[in-house]
Amino acid sequence: MVSKVLVANRGEIACRILRACREAGLASVAIFAENDSKSLFVELADQAVQLQGDSITSTYLNQEQILKIAATTGCDAVHPGFGFLSERADFARAVTQAGIQWIGPSPSAIERMGDKMTARKTMRDAGVPVIPGEEIEQEDEHEALLAIEQASTRVGYPLLLKASSGGGGKGMRAVERPEDLLAAAQSARREALAAFGDGRVYLERMLTGSKHVEIQILADRHGRTIHLGERECSVQRRHQKVFEEAPCATMTEEIRSAMGKAAVAAAMAVHYEGAGTVEFLLAPTGEFFFLEMNTRIQVEHPVTELVTGVDIVREQLRIAAGEPMSCGDLNLRGHAIEVRLYAEDASNNFLPAIGPLAVFQPPEGPGIRLDTGVRQGDEVTPNYDPMLAKLIVWAPSRIEALQRMRRALDEFVVLGTTTNLRFLRELCDVPDVIEGSTDTTMIDRLWPNGWSASIPVELEDGALMAAAVSESSGLHRQVHSNAQVSDQSGPVSPFMTLSRRYP
C-alpha cells in the first residue's frame, strides 16, 4: 500500500511526480531548500516542508533530514526522481529500513548496476553483450597501472578508460595511442578517487560512429518484466544529452526485439523492480553492446510515454504499491522528439546563464508537451542545474515530428535569460538529424570551434525597431507593473467593471 509520497527532488521532475501523485489520488509531500521556497513544485504538493541548510549537501542530499521529514509527515513512500539521491543504495536501504516504500529497485540492484565493473560482469553472465574490454581489479596504484598496460594490448586502440564508480564523464579518458596510456590512466584514477572515493578504472574499446540507444524497462512483483522499446539519445554534448527521440530512426524490428530481450535479461539478472533504463551502443553493423543501466526514472522518459501511451511515473507508483503494472503489449505509435531547454549561452561555449524569466511563453497546439519546473517571473539562479524545461513533441511520423519541433521552437519565447533555444532550432535543420544518421560525435564534428547563431540581417533590423518602438511607447512601464492598472483613483469598486447583469 502506498498512500502518501515524499518527493525527494526539486524542479521539473518533482513537478512531474507530484502531478502523477495527484492524478493517482495519492497525498504528496515536497521538500525544498530555502532558495526554492517560491518554486513551482512546492505549490504542486499537498504539503511542503523546508529543508534546513544552505548547500545541496545539507538539503537535497541530506538523507537524515529527509528521512525525518518522511516520518513526521507520515509518508509511506519516497520517490527519488533522478539525480540527487536516486541512485544511492545506502539511501534506498535507509528508507526501506524505516518501513517506507522506496519507489525504485532494491538497494542491491542499485549497487550491482552502480558499480560499472560489477555491472559488466553481471551482464556478461546473463548473456548480454558488453563492449569488448577488461576490468582491472587491482587497487594498488602500481599493480593497477601494470594491469591496465597489459590489458590495453588485448583491448586495442583507440580505447576508453572509465571509472568503475563513474558517471557524467568523470574519471573517463579517451586514449588514441599507446604512448598516452600511462598519463591518461594516472589522471583517470586520480579524478575517480577524488570524485567517488574509488580509483578503480576499466578499459573499453572505443566504438566510433555508434548510436546511443537505450531501452526502457518496467518490472513488477507479479512476475512481469517488459521493455517499452528504445530511445535514441546520440546527440550529446560532453556526455550531456540534448536531443532525444523514440523510436530510433534506423531501428529494425529484429534489432529492437534483440535489444529488448537483452534489456529484460539485464533487469531480471538483478531482480529489478520498477522503471529502469538499459543503455547500449548500437554500432553501424547492427551489433549492440551494454553500456550501463540507470536504476531510476530518466530525464527523457516522456518520448517513450508519447509513443507507447504508457505513463511511466504512474506505473512506478503502481508497482511500488505492489500492484501489477497496467500496460499491455508493446504497441509503438508515431514518433516523439524531446529537446532540453538549458539556461546557457550556446554561442559562448555553452556557459550557464542566469537572469529573470521576464517572459516565458511555451508553444502550444497539437502534439506538444512541456515538462518544466519554472514559470514566467521566476529567477534563474546558479544554485542548481540549468535545465529549464523539456519540450516534447509527438507526430504520426518522424518527418512530421521534426516539422512540429521546428514550429514549436519558433513559437517558444524566453526573454530575460539566455537559453539554447536557437541552438536546438538549428539542430532540427542539420542533415544528419533530418536523415536520422546521428551518432555520439555529431556536435563536435559539426561545430569543432563552437556554435554561433546565423541571423538574417533584416531580422536584426526588425529587432532593433521592436526595441526602439518598445522604448518609445514605454512598454516596459506597462508590462512590468500590473499594479498600475488599479492605481488610477484609489479603491475601485469591482462591480463597476461588470458589464453583465443578472438575471
Partner 1 sequence: MLHQFRTAEGDVEVTVAKQGDVWQLGQHQATVEDDGRLSIRLANGTKGYATTAKVGDVWWVHFQGHTFCLERIEPGASQSGDEGGLVAPMPGKVLEVLVDVGQSVEGGQTLMVLEAMKMEHRILASNAGQITGIHFSAGEQVQQGSVLLEMVEDEA
Amino acid at 401: A
Residue 249 φ/ψ, nearest 5 degrees = -60, -30
Amino acid at 372: T
Among 129, 334, 416, 436, binds partner 1 (CB under 8 A): 416
Find the part of the chain contacting partner 1 (CB under 8 A) among 71-79, 121-129, 143-151, 417-425: 417-425
296 is catalytic: yes
Characterize the bridge pairing of strands 4-7 and 27-32: parallel
Collapse the DSSP code of 339 into the 3-class scheme (helix H, G, I; strand E, B; otherwise coil) and give the result.
Answer: strand
Whichever of 253 and 364 has its CB closer to partner 1, that residue is 364
Residue 61's CB is within 10 A of a number of other CB atoms, namely 18
Whichever of 285 and 482 has its CB closer to partner 1, that residue is 482
Q: How far is CA 412 from the centre of its chain?
A: 20
**What is the smallest separation between the CB atom of 360 and partner 1, expressed in angstroms?**
10
Burial of 186 (0-12, 13-18, 19+ CB in 10 A): middle
**What is the smallest separation between the CB atom of 425 and partner 1, expressed in angstroms?**
6
Whichever of 34 and 411 has its CB closer to partner 1, that residue is 411
How many chain residues interact with partner 1 (CB under 8 A)? 43
Whichever of 98 and 415 has its CB closer to partner 1, that residue is 415
Whichever of 234 and 419 has its CB closer to partner 1, that residue is 419
**How far, in Å, are 131, 150, 281, 306, 352 from residue 181 at the CA level?**
19, 11, 23, 44, 33
Cα–Cα dist 443/464, whole Å? 31
Cα–Cα dist 343/496, whole Å? 44
Find the part of the chain contacting partner 1 (CB under 8 A) among 78-86, 224-232, 296-304, 415-423: 415-423
Among 56, 265, 332, 415, binds partner 1 (CB under 8 A): 415
Cα–Cα dist 118/111, whole Å? 9
Whichever of 328 and 456 has its CB closer to partner 1, that residue is 456
Cell of 256: 529492437
Find the part of the chain contacting partner 1 (CB under 8 A) among 79-87, 125-133, 187-195, 406-414: 406-414
Cα–Cα dist 175/172, whole Å? 10
149 binds partner 1 (CB under 8 A): no
Whichever of 445 and 477 has its CB closer to partner 1, that residue is 477
194 binds partner 1 (CB under 8 A): no
409 binds partner 1 (CB under 8 A): yes
Tell which positions 445-464 bind partner 1, by CB under 8 A.
453, 455, 458-464
How much of the chain is helix, strand and coil, in % rounded to 5?
40, 25, 40
Tell which positions 346-375 bind partner 1, by CB under 8 A.
355-356, 358-359, 361
Tell which positions 462-491 bind partner 1, by CB under 8 A.
462-481
**What is the smallest separation between the CB atom of 140 and partner 1, expressed in angstroms?**
54
334: left (phi over 0), alpha (psi -120 to 50) or beta: left
**What is the smallest separation between the CB atom of 359 and partner 1, expressed in angstroms?**
5
**What is the smallest separation between the CB atom of 363 and partner 1, expressed in angstroms?**
11
Write down the catalytic residue from 16, 200, 237, 296. 296
Tell me 130's DSSP state.
B
**How far, in Å, are 137, 306, 309, 311, 450 from residue 333 at the CA level?**
45, 8, 8, 14, 36
Q: Which residues are catalytic?
A: 296
Binding footprint of partner 1 on the chain (CB under 8 A): 355-356, 358-359, 361, 409-411, 413-416, 418-419, 421-422, 425, 453, 455, 458-481
